[in-house]
Structure 1
Amino acid sequence: MKEYDFIAIGGGSGGFNAARVARGFSDNVAVIDGARQLGGLCILRGCMPSKTLIYSAEVLHLAQNARAFGLNIPSAKVDMPALHQRKLEIIKEFTDYRVESMTSGKYDLYRNQARFIGPNTIELDDGVQLRGKKFILATGSKIAKPPIPGLDDDGIWTSDDVLELDFLPESVIVLGGGVVACELAQFLNRVGSQVTQIQRSPHILKDQAPDVSEVVETAFRDEGVSLFTDTQLERIEKTDTGYSVTFKLQGESKTVFAQHLVNALGRYPATRGLGLDAAGVDLKPNGQIATNEHQQTSNPDIYAAGDCAGPYEIVHTAVLQGEYAARHAFGKPGPGPLNYDHMLDVVFTDPQVARVGLTEKALKERDIDFIAADYPFDDHGKSILMEAKYGFVRVFAEKPSGRILGAEIVSKDGGELIHALAVAVSNNLTAADLLKTHWYHPTLAEIISYPLEDIVDEL
């Protein structure tokens, strides 16, 4: 039985980066990844392919609306085979780099599934047993299938299927209103599919502030998405021409039809079959692996990071968690533990939704005295000339110090703009501190200075 100083189970963003950092402290590191293809969810079936397609759809959308910019572009349409091929070529660059890193000889790579048979021992699916001084679990998540009649039909698409499309579907129903559902619904609509989106909660992007979600809902409906919210899904049926979905809307039963159906109703932690009981690893009520601030599980020799652990299923968070876990496992200094009060997240719809730090809800729950100020993009020079008038920027500051505690931006390129405020949140800067900065005119970013000025004036 071979023993390692550090074993990463899962070679995605969390596991690979943990192994990479661990390799700096030991030459006795193993990575176990039994996936059909190396690379991890982000590279293969998540961030990179989806954002590649979304950006192409944005270019198409601008071309199709050229007259708003005083341009005459007679025709613009998608070439799905070419779009698919471009995505494959781009993803191959990322995948090749990751595979090259994992197979470089720095790590012992096992292309197997693993399960614990003891607190520090795992067995691979080929019968090989390995012992580790320290482990990290970074097994990610899988697509969920809620108990809705008809949802188990084999022909129903998932996000994986949408990202592999090389043809244009005539019509699609998207079930769900989370990040994945919204990004894919808008993508499909922009490339030319007739899209119906059905969300169970009162708003899409239910974790965002209601007025943030409402901006995206307005944009979707303006672009032609048939969006239904506050529904109760009843059943799904296969038809001669595709699928029907029946749901309750304002107390009445409604049925919609489409050629294809996408299940985007969420994901669940991929922890089944890991033998966590044998390892003494506890789960949270939601199925994620329970960890302390150091990413340690209830077995202190086993760490966890990424989607399987939470509390946020975001790639950069998984990377930071994995890196910190490896340093902690070897007793090495460095940044950490993670401060989730500085959390940053982005939704790549158009307008984008970006958020950093504490929300208004969290501030009120903690009884923090704060001031909020916002400013709309439809009254801002650069966004007006860009025909990017949806949304607003909102900043939360502590009273009486003016320290920036959080911010929300829903706008064109909001994911880029939010980083100015992320720097402020992470470094305890005040609104007055940020106003010392030169905010260049005309830029989208200068709009951030307007609520900052209101905060300083009021304080």
Structure 2
Amino acid sequence: MNQQFDAVVVGAGQAGPSLAERLGKSGRKVAVIERKLVGGTCVNTGCIPTKAMVASAYVAKQARSAGNYGVNTGDVRVDMEAVWQRTQGISGQSRSSVEKWLAGMQNVSLLRGHAAFESPNTLRVGDTLIEAGEIFLNVGGRAVAPDFPGIDSVPYLTNTGILELRQLPRHLVIVGGSYIGLEFGQMFRRFGAEVTIVERSDRLLPKEDPDVSAAVVDILEKEGIKLHLAAECIELHGKAGEISVLAKCAKPGLEVHGTHLLLAVGRRPNTDALGLDKAGVNTNEHGYITVDDQCRTNVSGIWAMGECNGHGAFTHTAYNDYEIVAANVLDEEPRRISDRILAYALFIDPPLGRIGLTEQEALKKGHDVRVGVRPMTRVGRAVERGEALGFMKVIVDGKSEQLLGAAILGVNGDEAIHSLLDVMYAKARYQTVTHAVHIHPTVAELLPTVLQSLSPL
């Protein structure tokens, strides 16, 4: 059976449904093809369920420390079944909302199944051939299974499987000291599990400045999380409930025993089963689809958005890809990926908000680097809440007087950072912030003070 559409969107993640709606409203006949769950990683196994669990973990931590605020709560016990039910309910409601949204779209049909190219303008979904003049790929990615010895025999969890746990692990061992590993590590420690994190690099978050990494280490160790760094030559041993992680090249050699294992060592794009070779679409050595500044592939009429194009593994970058594609295809507005300023957050508690360049990156690019730093103990709002861990750091070019980047590791840092991000997009001088009058008492009110303390390196 053959079906013809004007446009096909493969994948109902963050970018897909939004683009489908715009295309449908333009008068195009549109198909959205989804092989599993609409909403993609964010709704089903990423942002929404994990941040729901982070919220539960935060409440557990606050309940245990309630006495510090003059509040007596008694014994605190975490019901993992209830945490799971709450998390699934929030994620399920979000997925249902996307399904209803798609069902109500003008000129848009949702087709279920796996899509693979037969030619540059033809996709096969089961026994059906679908032809379209425009094809937009939004297929996302998945966790990497590293080639550790023992990977085929030792049971392990990824960011997807750990969301299905309905009982608390006695000892969770995590291989990977970046965002996924740290967020799950802290939340399960707060739920009551013993947690050990094993990282192959010589520090956590190796892409951040060393002072940020060191502060995160301090936060996690204060909660009783064990950290092992520079753990190379990793091997896995054991069985369900009795796993071991060995790092033979660590000095001294490392062996960690636990009941559950989470592997958080990276992701790969879901492009290997798309039949991209039949369409002539280029990928790089890691399987990411090669695109230009407007998300166009090398094949006319085919675009790639979101994690699969290698230009960001975040919900917000995927949504921006949709905006870029829609602007160029529908609005004749030449928006570009290269206009985007790097911005993301690490949702441990307190969170890390990060934008632009790090101090080390700014130096390598030859900027006249000026840095301002203030501890969160200077933020009245943080002290009043009893959450004054972390610091603020801003990086400025001394010649242009423009912001280059910033990191706020502290309470509400993931929100306060946006006032600096907007100044960067406006290409305004940093004095725009120093001359602003911020509301007291807030976290963002310290940003003018931080910028008034700039000093050269």
Common fold: TM-score over 0.5: yes
The answer to whether the 8 Å contact 1:216/1:351 transfers is: no
The answer to whether the 8 Å contact 2:24/2:105 transfers is: no
Partner of 1:360: 359
Residue 95, structure 1, aligned to residue 95, structure 2 = yes
- Where do residues 66-85 of structure 1 align in structure 2 (5 Å cutoff)? 66-85=66-85
Q: Which amino acid in 2 is paired with 1:123?
A: R
Partner of 1:333: 332
Partner of 1:59: 59
Partner of 2:379: 380
CA distance in 2, matches of 1:429, 1:29: 41
Residue 240 of structure 1 deviates from its aligned partner by 7.3
Partner of 1:441, secondary structure, is coil
Partner of 1:252, secondary structure, is coil
- Where do residues 280-359 of structure 1 align in structure 2 (5 Å cutoff)? 280-330=280-330, 332-334=331-333, 336-339=335-338, 342-359=341-358
CA distance in 2, matches of 1:78, 1:70: 22
Partner of 1:183: 183
Residue 389 of structure 1 deviates from its aligned partner by 2.4
The answer to whether the 8 Å contact 2:144/2:267 transfers is: yes
- Where do residues 84-233 of structure 1 align in structure 2 (5 Å cutoff)? 84-104=84-104, 106=106, 107-124=108-125, 126-153=126-153, 155-233=155-233
Q: Which amino acid in 2 is paired with 1:177?
A: G
What stretches of structure 2 of length at least 5 have no aligned partner? none
Partner of 2:404, secondary structure, is strand
CA distance in 2, matches of 1:290, 1:371: 36
CA distance in 1, matches of 2:283, 2:227: 36
The answer to whether the 8 Å contact 1:372/1:394 transfers is: yes
Residue 14 of structure 1 deviates from its aligned partner by 2.0
The answer to whether the 8 Å contact 1:134/1:329 transfers is: no
The answer to whether the 8 Å contact 2:137/2:302 transfers is: yes
Q: Which amino acid in 2 is paired with 1:389?
A: A
Partner of 1:425: 424
Q: Which amino acid in 1 is paired with 2:348?
A: T
Residue 163 of structure 1 deviates from its aligned partner by 1.4
The answer to whether the 8 Å contact 1:439/1:445 transfers is: yes
The answer to whether the 8 Å contact 1:145/1:152 transfers is: no
The answer to whether the 8 Å contact 2:343/2:355 transfers is: yes
Residue 385 of structure 1 deviates from its aligned partner by 2.6
Q: Which amino acid in 2 is paired with 1:398?
A: D
Residue 216 of structure 1 deviates from its aligned partner by 1.0
Q: Which amino acid in 2 is paired with 1:108?
A: S
Residue 153 and residue 14 in structure 1: after superposition, are their counterparts in 2 closer, same or farther (change >3 A)? farther
Residue 387 of structure 1 deviates from its aligned partner by 2.4
Residue 116 of structure 1 deviates from its aligned partner by 1.0
Partner of 2:388: 389
Q: Which amino acid in 1 is paired with 2:418?
A: H
Aligned length: 454
Q: Which whole-Å deviations, capped at 9, do the CAs of 1:30-80 have from their partners, x for residues lacking one?
A: 111111x32211001100000001011011101111233233322222111
CA distance in 2, matches of 1:165, 1:454: 47
Partner of 2:190, secondary structure, is helix
Q: Equivalent pairs: percent with the same residue?
A: 29
The answer to whether the 8 Å contact 2:12/2:32 transfers is: yes
The answer to whether the 8 Å contact 1:341/1:357 transfers is: no
Q: Which amino acid in 2 is paired with 1:424?
A: V
Superposed CA RMSD:
1.9
Partner of 1:413: 412
Partner of 2:67, secondary structure, is helix
Partner of 1:156, secondary structure, is coil
TM-score by length of 1: 0.94
The answer to whether the 8 Å contact 1:21/1:327 transfers is: no
The answer to whether the 8 Å contact 1:245/1:257 transfers is: yes
CA distance in 1, matches of 2:94, 2:9: 20
